[in-house]
Structure 1
Amino acid sequence: MSSTVLTNQSPTNQSRRWTGLAVLVLAITLVAVDATVLSLAIPSISETLRPNGTQLLWIGDAYSFVLAGLLVSMGSLSDRIGRKKLLLIGSSAFGAASLLAAYAPGPGWLIVARALLGVAGATIMPSTLSLIRSLFPDDRERATAIGIWGAAATAGAALGPVVGGVLLEHFWWGSVFLLNIPVLLLLLVFGAWLLPESRDPKPGRWDVLSVALSMAGVIGVVYAIKEAAAHGVARWDVPLAALVGAAALTVFVRRQLRLDTPLLDVRLFGDRRFTAAVLASLIALVGLSGVVFVTSQYLQLVRGYEPLRAGLAELPAFVGAVVGGLLTARLVRRSGARAALTFCLLAMGLGVGVLGWLQQDTTYLLLAASFLLVGTAEGVVYTLAADLVLSAAPAEKAGAASAVSETAYELGTALGIALVGSVVGSLYASGLAVPAGTAPAAAARAGESLGGAVETAHGLSQSLAEPLLASAKESFVHGMNVAGVLAAVLLIGAAAMAWRLLRGLSAPVATTPVQQPAPEKVDVQKVDA
């Protein structure tokens, strides 16, 4: 029985297939870059649009909140209306929202534009991975294709600060959004020509209540985590958001088990490959995003790097992500998925653990080696996790399954920043020694963050500024050391979890092309190697 419907036959010409993959790589890189490119533009946006503190928070968070909340829903929608169609619609919407963001006249408009970018990004991400399944019926070719796709996804996020730094050296903050337009035009033209269409032949109805529950659940949980990290749990909105999010996700899961055609088949988590892949991807992103979050501040505020130099200093993570993604298929063929996933999670733990020994004057070479190791291992983990997720799901549910992998990516990013940020922030505040004679308002500002201390020091006399900065930097580095060790322990625990969950499993041998729903992909039959 056919597991998926192709309304256009997959390109038979090999070069055309790989050109089609280039289109998908362009799409996933664009979405990944957009998630991090804004970080360096925040000071310029603050000066131009003058948002208040809450508006500034939402300018940064609206994109990831909406993206994480809608990924599962849009992945399921792509299975129903067509993955190519939704990708092209989403790309058009992404371009329109980019224009709105670039020329936003005020902070409210920019928040709306960022939210619309999240909606459009949610239509693009799951479609790219599921379309690879249609483009590449051959297992080995598909393994290589997913490796390239995974390299683009992880490297895009690492490349964002570099791209932002280059643009902001020469143009105004809106340029980070206008960069999307020429890329999207290429995507629309070549995507319409080269990509095949595919969908679930028996999709069933798209349950709107499930869409609302999944979005409320994910956004509620992510919001609670981020706000708790920034302001603690004493505020009334944090426990309320956590409660609403957890309740919505509970009702969502129960509803999916009752529906004949669920938005997300939660029974997929009964497959240990699927569960191991999702958890590994989530925890790996906790480590990676935590490293980027802490070291970006360390490079700029402790070592005094300019934004562009700081972005370039993080380039080894980008290079490593590309190399890791491309080497995944070869590594799995030699060692098996179980050993590869476990080893790379351990390697990430080692790389993140380096943060536990960094000091203010530590040679950059040690940090560069850490970036390279973490980036390379993450490239393998993310690519292999996506591979295992698709191999565990029926072909007709490829969009929804891909969306789960992408949701783990977004949640891992949010959790990493929140957890690492809360540890560093707590230890920084408790360790900071404010010199006697500092005004109470200035002392309070310095105690909020290292950035606040640097800003406060500019308005103080040299006799007060120097000891304040010395204490602030020392406290921040101490917090970074502790957070690095804790993140390393978490990743080592994830490695043990992956080794245990994948024990004794072997995937069915993949059969031919798109007519068979048997799990395919990177030699996962060697999972018990």
Structure 2
Amino acid sequence: MRTRWLALAALCFAELLVMVDNTIVNVALPTMARDLDAGISGLQWIVDAYTLVFAGLLLTGGYLGDRFGHRRMLLTGIAGFAAISALAASSQTLGQLIATRGGLGLFAALVFPATLAIITSIFTEPKQRAAAVGIWAATSGIAVAIGPVLGGWLLEHYSWSSVFWVNLPMAAVAVIAIVMVVPGTRPEAVSRFDAIGLVLSIIGLGLLTYSVIEGPHFGWADLRTIGGLVVAGIALGLFARRELTIAHPILDIRLFANRHFAAAAGMISVAFFALFGFIFLITQFFQAVKGYGPLEAGLRTLPFAVVMAVFSPIAMALSHRFGPRLVSVAGGLLMSGGFALVEVSSRMSGYWELIIWSMSLMAMGLAFISGPCTQVIMDALRPEQAGAGSAVNDTTREIGGTLGVAVLGSVLTSVYTSGVGDRLSQLGVPRAATTVAEDSVMAGIEVAARAPSQIDQQVRFAVQDVFVDGLHSAVWVAVAITAAAALAAAYFLRGAVGGRTAAPVVDDAPGSEIDGDVPARTA
């Protein structure tokens, strides 16, 4: 009994390692923008290179765990993650940093699905499994929220490269803990690898993210933007068609015939879309508009992690008592309400008067969605689907997060770049300086710092006001999407019960009945 909970602690620490990297760079973005001469799209790519590769290869990571053993892939992923972290810390150009961030995503894709697959195999009693999955889900949300805090502390004392060097000692601790307390697992069945499906999924997700991020710069009506979105849609359509027709898909599309599974996966994707997008925006707001340093900015995201930690077990208890439908619908509405509060913010808004309350509502909403919906997903899977199924669950998080940064960041960029030029021109700022300010809000603040003393404050206020306008526009998207998700969950999660979905997954294969209580074979 005790060994299982120690194993859970070790697995959650490994999960923490790779999830923190989703957001630890956010508070370093202003520094990176100056040191590496990066505009807003460059900053988006620093964040999204990681999440895009992470999301694109999670299904492969789950498959490799099923084929070669989840613990083996977990240890391989952690070792590779540490090695690439050293390369990322040594980057000298924006291109090098983006490339190494992609490399980190590759090895994170081996780690993340293995953690949940092992948890579902070693916790066989339903109530304990639900508690373990709830802790795992809470760790995911908390890790994303504490990333800016850890990054801020490091930047107060060291250069931006420290946000990557810190991965090395964390990886060493994770490896030691896993070797000591986590058992090896091997599933009952292993399928052939679908290389064509993998390529199609990477092309589709990659082009979709690229087109959304670069849309404000090329123009939304530009042939490159429209063509990229069309080709991405075709690639993803071909991927779905292939996965439905081959015997051994890397993503079993038939799982989504279960409306409980599909709705839960969609809710998690929407929740992390909102979370990642918000953290990308708010860390820049804290530094560019409120003037906080990296540590101050990071600490001001800490309430998100605290609220998430407090309400995650409450959410699981409520889910068992009232069912995941009611809890996840409440979560979507809470997140939507939290974003709606941001709409009344301005350059002068105080942290304690407004911002902390909006973050707290978002964190409570994420807690109400993440754990219960993860449990719905995992209860819908057979034991031999643990790796691929947990990868689907993880993929929804990362795809949602990737698109959150891409979409909300691009809405902000569209409003900021179109507005800041006009505002600065009215103040008599030279065109060359205005062009620099259009790259990013931090570049705009730098232009204000170098402006003549008689207009420097006006320039700074103009840049900040336009940034807040862009923030409001981006947040409206999050308000609408989270509210729509709540309504969808109210309809599609009908009949879902705490700890077990009511309907089995549609599957024509023999022995397709749901049997979540049978463990994988221990190696």
Unaligned stretches of 5+ in structure 2? 504-510, 518-523
Once the two structures are superposed, the pairs formed by residues 396-475 of structure 1 within 5 Å of their partners are: 396-432=384-420, 433-434=423-424, 435-475=426-466
Work out whether 1:61 is the aligned partner of 2:54.
no
Change (3 A) 1:296 1:111: closer
Structure 1 residue 218 and structure 2 residue 218: aligned? no
2:492 pairs with 1:501: yes
2:131 is the alignment partner of 1:144: yes
| 1:393 matched residue in structure 2 | 381
Q: Contact 1:222–1:411 at 8 Å: present in 2 too?
A: no
State how far apart, in whole Å, the 1-side matches of 2:41 and 2:482 are. Answer: 33
Please state how far the C-alpha of 1:67 moved relative to its aligned partner.
Answer: 0.9
RMSD: 2.5
Question: Any idea what the Cα deviations from partners look like across 1:290-323, whole Å, max 9, x if unmatched?
Answer: 3222222222111111111011111111112222
Q: What is the rounded CA distance, in whole Å, between the counterparts of 1:29 and 1:284 in structure 2?
A: 18
Identity of aligned residues (%): 34
Change over 3 Å in CA distance of 1:132–1:450 after alignment to 2: same
Structure 1 position 347, deviation (Å): 0.8
The answer to whether residue 264 in structure 2 is matched with residue 273 in structure 1 is no
| Partner residue in 1 for 2:182 | 195
Deviates more, 1:473-482 or 1:202-211: 473-482
Aligned ranges for residues 94-105 of structure 1 at < 5 Å? 94-104=81-91
Q: 1:440/1:104 Cα in 2 relative to 1: closer, same or farther (>3 Å)? A: closer
Correspondence for 2:75: 88
CA distance in structure 2 between the aligned counterparts of 1:44 and 1:504, rounded to whole angstroms:
50
- 1:61-115: CA deviation from partner (whole Å, max 9, x where unpaired): 3222211111112112212221111111111111111122223455554344322
Whether the 8 Å CA contact 2:85–2:165 is kept in 1: the answer is yes
3-state secondary structure, aligned to 1:153: helix
| 1:424 and 1:480 in contact (8 A); partners too | yes
Change (3 A) 1:252 1:50: same
- The 1:444–1:99 alpha-carbon spacing in structure 2 relative to 1, beyond 3 Å, is closer
**CA positional deviation for 1:496:** 0.5
Partner of residue 5, structure 1: none
Whole-Å separation in 1 of the counterparts to 2:350 and 2:427: 33
Moved more, 31-40 or 350-359: 31-40
Q: Is the 8 A contact 2:260 2:501 kept in 1?
A: no
Match of residue 478 from structure 2: 487
TM-aligned CA deviation for residue 47 of structure 1: 5.8
Residue of structure 1 in register with 2:106 after alignment: 119
Contact 1:424/1:483, CA 8 A, preserved across alignment: yes
Distance 2:72 2:364 in 1: 33
* Shift in alpha-carbon separation, 1:391–1:53, aligned structure 2, 3 A: closer
SS in 1 for 2:22: helix
- Return closer, same or farther for 1:283/1:46 CA change in 2, 3 Å cut-off: closer
Distance 1:58 1:503, change over 3 A: closer
Deviation, 1:379, is 2.2
CA separation of 1:179 and 1:463: change in aligned 2, threshold 3 A: same
Partner residue of 2:9 out of 10, 17, 22: 22
Q: Tell whether 2:23 aligns with 1:36.
A: yes
Q: Structure 1, residues 186-221: CA drift from partner, whole Å, max 9, x if none?
A: 222221232223333221211222222222222221
Paired residues, number: 504
Instruction: Rate the CA distance shift 1:341–1:298 in 2: closer, same or farther, 3 A.
Output: same
Deviations 1:465-487 (A, max 9, x none): 23222233223323323433442
Give yes or no for contact 1:65–1:223 (8 Å, CA) kept in 2. Answer: no
Is the alpha carbon distance of 1:69 and 1:487 closer, same or farther for their aligned partners in structure 2, counting shifts above 3 Å? same
1:349 aligns with 2:329: no
Distance 2:246 2:183 in 1: 30
- Name the counterpart of 1:379: 367
For residues 410 and 512 of structure 2, the distance between their equivalents in structure 1, rounded to whole angstroms, comes to 47
Unaligned runs of 5+ in 1: 1-13, 522-529
- Alpha carbons of 1:231 and 1:457: their partners in 2 closer, same or farther (altered >3 Å)? farther
* Matching residue's letter, 2:394: E
Letter in 1 for 2:485: A
Rounded to whole Å, the distance in 2 between the matches of 1:37 and 1:101 is 13
Structure 2 CA distance for partners of 1:475 and 1:175, relative to 1, 3 Å: closer
Q: Tell me which residue corresponds to 1:245.
A: 232
Which residue pairs with 1:177 in the alignment? 164
Report the residue type matching 2:86 in the other structure: L
Name the CA shift for 1:41/1:310 in 2 (closer, same or farther; >3 Å): closer
How far did residue 267 of structure 1 move? 0.3
Aligned counterpart, 2:514: 518
Task: Tell me the distance in 2 between the aligned counterparts of 1:501 and 1:106.
Answer: 47
Give the direction of change, closer, same or farther, for the CA distance of 1:56–1:501 in structure 2 (3 Å limit): closer
Please tell me the residue identity of whatever aligns with 2:480: V
